[in-house]
Structure 1
Amino acid sequence: MSSASRKARTLRVAALRTAYREELAEGTGVFFSPRAHSCPWCGSARLGGYLHTTDLFQHKPGVFTLDRCHDCGHLFQNPRLNERGLAFYYRDFYDGLGEERLGGVFGGRTASYRSRARSVRPHLPGAAEWLDVGTGHGHFCESARAVLPAVAFDGLDRSDGAELAERAGRVRRGRRGSFPDLAERLPGSYDVVSMFHYLEHCAAPQRELEAARAVLRPGGLLVIDVPDPGSRFARWLGRWWLPWLQPQHLHLAPAANLRRRLAESGFTVLAEEHTEAHDPVDLLAAVWVALDAVAPREDLPWLSSPPGAWRRALRSAVFLAGVPLLVAATVLDRLAVGPLAGRLRLANAYRLIARREADDGARTPPA
């Protein structure tokens, strides 16, 4: 980062500090809904605490708990963030202060995006209209066109990212708003709906699946990528496992649960993929998050005051000392874990490709 960029960021942080201080004056309790006493997936009351953690990414104040259902295995944030809480913890992550940094990360994942498109290609006979839900700035759609040139991609996002993606030419049309609301207005409008690492962010996943069924034409495809809470890394790395992503991830459904729910919602699962959905970053991310946790904070507007020069120097020293660990973790992720992730049950995500059946229940022949 250039000196001019650092100065501009310092001024932005200072300008935001007062507003954050006022919002935090009531404490973090106002950001949560009442605690749930039954599983939101199956209704069981047999719940147990699974993980307690803090915000390891933005370092905003608050403590977050994931509960596990002893009957179906579903994991969910409990108590869950309310709308005010979601707005608070998302602010300056994907937009604002975090937009430039996250934009660079998402923009550099072309190979991963094309791999997603190749997974769908065998089930897609030709030209199609595709809606990417939770599209961000539309980078997946832009990359997927190279694999699926006959597909017209639209993007939907709650932020202004989808509109920015349309202006940048990454999507045919960028739609802003909630998916259930869009599905009510445009029933039967698409041949494919994708939800790449979107469903785990949703307060009511079943509503999103119903919206997908509504917006798809009979025989259309639903593609879902979500974190896999059954990954061995989830147990081995504990709170340092990147896909916990607290406080943003509200629900983490085991693959068997999501398969059953899709069948109940009028879909037939055509493929389940683990190795193909895996992103080889678990060890690297764990080391980075751990270093970031022990290093003094960078200047952030939700902190009471900016760090001094010695704290900035100490932060730089911690990350410099951690470079060998970061390099070793990267090598292990890509060369040792990546090729065997599915076989060793280390995959951090899974992908389901499902077909929407006709409303009368008749099975649509496979493409």
Structure 2
Amino acid sequence: MSDEIQPTVPADDAEPADRAARIAALRPCYRADLADGVERFFEPRRTTCPWCGSDQLVARLRTGDLLQHKPGDFGLDRCAECGHTFQNPRLNEAGLEFYYRDFYDGLGEQRMGGTFGGRTKMYRGRAEAMLRYDPTPKNWLDVGTGHGHFCEAAREVLPGTAFDGLDFTDGVALAEREGRVEHGFRGAFPDLAPDLAAHYDVVSMFHYLEHSTDPDRELRAAHEVVRPGGHLLIEVPDPESRYARLLGRWWLPWLQPQHLHFVPVANLRRRLTEVGFSVVGEQHAQPHDPVDLLAAVWLALDHAAPREDAPWLAEPPGAFRRALRSGVFLAGVPALVAGTLVDRFAVRPLSHWLRLSNAYRLVARRD
């Protein structure tokens, strides 16, 4: 869960027969889940900000699930006092299970594993961000490790460091089986923190905090697990990016309905200080992932095209709809190429100066 998603154009006609059979087998379960609608997946709507308690809330965005296309509408509100943006109403436990199901695990495991596995350069850059502050950490816990690809790549940067991973999905067990992490812990980080107290030189949270139901509790768990003098490394989407306004619902880091909280950097710096950390490093240009325009074009094409088969659809698409879907993406290839070129060669060198960076990174030392 620790990585942002990069879209890849699906090849519907190339889906293996076993995937179609798995989808057919799952369809009755999804049909039962949706029989009473999706309203049961949400908590009551909040009237105050979960970060500062203010009642000065304004609507920021409404969108659907633009990646899996599971049914449901999702809203993001922004606090006019502190700038915190959050999902409102928020998914409850049943909703989180429903919308995460078959995304990172199950049907989505192979696709997500391929997406995350090809990002070694980015993972190395994340590990290198710690060299200035602790070039020889003995052990490192990656919270929200997913399939453990960061730990595998980071070992090349820090060969003397033992990497463990923690996640609440099946991916962490896969990461341990594949040798990407030495120990894989499955469960909620705050619940596991007492057993790991003061055990790690470094704890990392790469694109994890925005998924959590209670970011403050996660930060306090990190303070418990990091040794005195050790470090916490956090990377999250930047809700103050100009792309967030310019691209609207097509800005990939909104990632509804999975992303529950978007914390402005000033808010996170203050909260880290309050829980017992000193912020020693802040980066904006380095964690920027140059995919915003490519992803926006892809999401728009995917939204316009007929759906590919999925178990939450009433029935699989026919040959005509599959052909039409392929045609939409084929027609969109020039726009996808243009988006890629602008992302990588025009925007990336100037992303921080133009305030277009889509993420920021903080390094904090436990006092």
TM-score range, shorter chain: over 0.9
Residue from 117, 132, 147 that aligns with 2:142: 132
Q: Shift of the alpha carbon at 1:3?
A: 7.5
**Would you say 1:60 and 2:70 are equivalent positions?**
yes
Residue from 272, 280, 297 that aligns with 1:262: 272
Residue from 89, 93, 101 that aligns with 1:83: 93
Question: Contact conserved, 2:239 with 2:264, CA < 8 A, in 1?
Answer: yes
Unmatched 5+ stretches in structure 2: 1-10
Answer with 4-13 or 213-222: which moved more. 4-13
Separation (CA, whole Å) in 1 of partners of 2:13 and 2:290: 33
**What's 1:314 paired with?**
324
**What's 1:232 paired with?**
242
Give the residue type in structure 1 aligned to 2:27.
R
**What's 1:282 paired with?**
292
Give the residue type in structure 1 aligned to 2:322.
R
Q: Shift of the alpha carbon at 1:125?
A: 3.9
Residue from 250, 253, 258 that aligns with 1:243: 253
Question: Contact conserved, 2:116 with 2:149, CA < 8 A, in 1?
Answer: yes
**What's 2:4 paired with?**
none
Give the residue type in structure 1 aligned to 2:235.
D
Give the residue type in structure 2 aligned to 1:88.
F
Separation (CA, whole Å) in 2 of partners of 1:295 and 1:3: 15
Change (3 A) 1:59 1:3: closer
TM-score where L is the length of structure 1? 0.96
Q: Shift of the alpha carbon at 1:17?
A: 0.7
Separation (CA, whole Å) in 1 of partners of 2:14 and 2:207: 35
Separation (CA, whole Å) in 2 of partners of 1:269 and 1:253: 15
**What's 1:343 paired with?**
353
Separation (CA, whole Å) in 2 of partners of 1:139 and 1:180: 23
Separation (CA, whole Å) in 2 of partners of 1:2 and 1:21: 22
Q: Give a deviation string over 1:283-338, Cα, whole Å, max 9, x none.
A: 00000000000000011111111111100000000000000111111111111111
Question: Contact conserved, 2:146 with 2:169, CA < 8 A, in 1?
Answer: yes
Q: Shift of the alpha carbon at 1:127?
A: 3.7
**Would you say 1:120 and 2:120 are equivalent positions?**
no
**Would you say 1:98 and 2:108 are equivalent positions?**
yes
Give the residue type in structure 2 aligned to 1:235.
R
TM-score where L is the length of structure 2? 0.96
Answer with 267-276 or 157-166: which moved more. 157-166
Residue from 301, 319, 338 that aligns with 1:291: 301
Q: Give a deviation string over 1:131-174, Cα, whole Å, max 9, x none.
A: 00000111000001111112110000101211211111111111
**What's 1:152 paired with?**
162
**Would you say 1:35 and 2:45 are equivalent positions?**
yes
Residue from 153, 178, 183 that aligns with 1:168: 178
Separation (CA, whole Å) in 1 of partners of 2:196 and 2:125: 29
Question: Contact conserved, 2:297 with 2:336, CA < 8 A, in 1?
Answer: yes
User: Where does 1:186-201 land on structure 2 (aligned, <5 Å)?
Assistant: 186-201=196-211
**Would you say 1:272 and 2:301 are equivalent positions?**
no
Q: Shift of the alpha carbon at 1:4?
A: 8.2
**What's 1:184 paired with?**
194
Equivalent position SS for 2:129? helix
Residue from 56, 59, 79 that aligns with 1:49: 59
Equivalent position SS for 1:146? helix
Give the residue type in structure 1 aligned to 2:337.
V
Equivalent position SS for 1:169? coil
Separation (CA, whole Å) in 1 of partners of 2:159 and 2:237: 28
Equivalent position SS for 1:124? coil
Give the residue type in structure 2 aligned to 1:76.
F
User: Where does 1:3-14 land on structure 2 (aligned, <5 Å)?
Assistant: 5-14=15-24
Give the residue type in structure 1 aligned to 2:139.
E
Separation (CA, whole Å) in 2 of partners of 1:65 and 1:112: 30
Unmatched 5+ stretches in structure 1: 358-367
Separation (CA, whole Å) in 2 of partners of 1:104 and 1:181: 30
Change (3 A) 1:300 1:124: same
Equivalent position SS for 2:164? strand
Separation (CA, whole Å) in 1 of partners of 2:29 and 2:183: 34
Residue from 245, 259, 262 that aligns with 1:252: 262
Q: Give the paired residue count.
A: 357
Separation (CA, whole Å) in 1 of partners of 2:250 and 2:264: 20
Equivalent position SS for 1:11? helix
